[in-house]
Copies of this chain bind each other. A is one copy, B any other.
Amino acid sequence: MADPGHPVKCSPVMVDGVALNGPTVNILDSEDFLQQSMAIILEDAVKKATDVKEKVCEWRPPEELKELLDLELRDEGESESQILQRCRDAIRYSVKTTHPRFFNQLFAGLEPYSLVASCIVEALKPSAYTYEVGPVFTLVEDAVLRKMMELVGWEEGGDGIFNAGGSMSNMYAVNLARYHHCPDIKQLGLSAAPRLVLFTSQECHYSISKAAAFLGIGTKNVYKVPSDESGKMIPSALEELIKKAKSEGAVPFMVNATAGTTVLGAFDPLEEIADICGEHNLWLHVDVTNSVAWNPHKMMMACLQCSAFLVRDKTGLLQRCYSASASYLFQQDKFYDISFDTGDKSIQCGRKPDAFKFWLLWKAVGARQLEQRVDRALAMARYLADEIKKREGFRLLMEPEYANVCFWYIPPSLRHSSSPSAVLLLPLQVAPVIKERMMKVGSMMVGYQPHSDRANFFRMIVISPQAGKADMDFVLDEIHNLGKDL
A356 to B212, CA, bound (A): 31
> A24 — which chain B residues lie within 8 A by C-beta?
373, 376, 465-466, 468
Residue A18 at the chain B interface, CB threshold 8 Å: yes
Question: B136–A94 contact, CB under 8 A?
Answer: yes
Kindly provide the distance from the CB of A303 to the nearest chain B CB, expressed in whole angstroms: 5
Q: A71-B140, A331-B432 are in contact. Are A468 and B22 (CB under 8 A)?
A: yes
Kindly provide the distance from the CB of A234 to the nearest chain B CB, expressed in whole angstroms: 21
> A123 — which chain B residues lie within 8 A by C-beta?
41, 45-46, 49, 98, 110, 115
Kindly provide the distance from the CB of A73 to the nearest chain B CB, expressed in whole angstroms: 5
A125 to B352, CA, bound (A): 16
Question: A219–B95 contact, CB under 8 A?
Answer: no
A5 to B53, CA, bound (A): 6
Q: Which among B120, B190, B337 is the interface contact of A189 at CB below 8 angstroms?
A: B190
> A23 — which chain B residues lie within 8 A by C-beta?
100, 464-468
Q: Which among B35, B83, B349, B363 is the interface contact of A83 at CB below 8 angstroms?
A: B363
Q: Which among B124, B365, B459 is the interface contact of A328 at CB below 8 angstroms?
A: B459
Q: Which among B113, B196, B326, B379 is the interface contact of A206 at CB below 8 angstroms?
A: B326
Chain A interface bracket (under 10, 10 to 19, 20 to 34, 35 or more): 35 or more
Residue A77 at the chain B interface, CB threshold 8 Å: yes
> A98 — which chain B residues lie within 8 A by C-beta?
123-125
* The stretch of A161-169, A266-274, A390-398 that contacts the partner chain: A161-169
Question: B76–A439 contact, CB under 8 A?
Answer: no
A253 to B180, CA, bound (A): 28
Question: A95–B132 contact, CB under 8 A?
Answer: yes
Question: A96–B83 contact, CB under 8 A?
Answer: no
Question: A189–B217 contact, CB under 8 A?
Answer: yes
Residue A65 at the chain B interface, CB threshold 8 Å: yes
Question: B380–A15 contact, CB under 8 A?
Answer: yes
20 further A-B pairs in the complex, CB-CB below 8 A; given A98-B125, A209-B324: A4-B53, A18-B379, A22-B470, A23-B465, A27-B466, A34-B116, A41-B120, A69-B139, A77-B369, A83-B363, A90-B120, A97-B125, A105-B127, A115-B123, A164-B351, A215-B215, A304-B352, A327-B449, A328-B447, A331-B432
A79 to B429, CA, bound (A): 50
> A117 — which chain B residues lie within 8 A by C-beta?
87
Residue A157 at the chain B interface, CB threshold 8 Å: no
> A288 — which chain B residues lie within 8 A by C-beta?
none
> A192 — which chain B residues lie within 8 A by C-beta?
195
Question: A77–B46 contact, CB under 8 A?
Answer: no
Question: A62–B122 contact, CB under 8 A?
Answer: no
> A333 — which chain B residues lie within 8 A by C-beta?
428-429, 432, 456
The 5 closest A-B pairs by CB, nearest first: A216-B216, A189-B218, A5-B52, A77-B366, A164-B164
Question: A366–B75 contact, CB under 8 A?
Answer: yes
Q: A123-B41, A359-B73, A379-B20 are in contact. Are A191 and B188 (CB under 8 A)?
A: no
> A3 — which chain B residues lie within 8 A by C-beta?
52-53
Question: A190–B188 contact, CB under 8 A?
Answer: no
Kindly provide the distance from the CB of A37 to the nearest chain B CB, expressed in whole angstroms: 4
Q: A6-B470, A65-B136 are in contact. Are A27 and B46 (CB under 8 A)?
A: yes
Kindly provide the distance from the CB of A253 to the nearest chain B CB, expressed in whole angstroms: 12
**Interface hub of A110, A333, A466 (most chain B Cβ within 10 A):** A333
Residue A286 at the chain B interface, CB threshold 8 Å: no
> A191 — which chain B residues lie within 8 A by C-beta?
190-191, 193-196, 218
Residue A154 at the chain B interface, CB threshold 8 Å: no
Per-residue interface assignment for chain A, residues 66 to 102, with 1 indicating a CB less than 8 Å from any chain B CB and 0 otherwise = 1001011111111010110011001101111110100
